[in-house]
Amino acid sequence: MYIHVVQKGEVLWKIADYYNVNIQDIITLNGIPDPGLLLPGQALLIPTQENTYTVGQGDTIWQIAQNYGVRVQDLLWENRILDPNLIYPGYVLTIPQKDKPEIEVNAFTYFLATEAVPIVREAGDYLTYLSPFAYLINEDGSLVSIDDEPAIAEAFAEGVVPMMAIVNFTINVEGENLANKVLNNPETVNILQENILNTMRDKGYQGLNIDFEYVLPEDREAYNSFLASTVEKLHNEGYFVSTSLAPKISGEQVGLLYEAHDYPAHGELADFVVLMTYEWGWRGGQPRAISPINEIEKVLDYAVSVIPRDKILMGFQIYARDWQIPFQQGQEAETISVQEAMNIAYEHMVEIKYDYLSQSPYFNYTDEEGNAHVVWFEDARSAQAKFDAVKDYGLRGVSYWGLGYEFPQNFPLLADNFQIEKL
Check: CB of residue 246 under 8 Å from CB of residue 216.
Answer: no
Cis peptide before 402 (omega within 30 of 0): yes
Q: Identify whether 213 is a catalytic site residue.
A: yes
Tell me the β-bridge partners of 45: 3
- CA 336, CA 376: separation in Å to the nearest integer? 10
Nearest C-alpha neighbor of 42 from the set 290, 320, 292, 382 = 382
Q: CA geometry: angle at 135 spanning 130 and 137, to 5°?
A: 145
- CA 124, CA 118: separation in Å to the nearest integer? 10
- CA 269, CA 276: separation in Å to the nearest integer? 18
Please give the torsion angle defined by the CA atoms of residues 39, 3, 362 and 9, in that order, rounded to the nearest 10 degrees. Answer: -20
Of the candidates 104, 176, 213, 406, the residue annotated as catalytic is: 213
Count of Cβ atoms closer than 10 Å to residue 221 Cβ: 12
Catalytic residues: 213
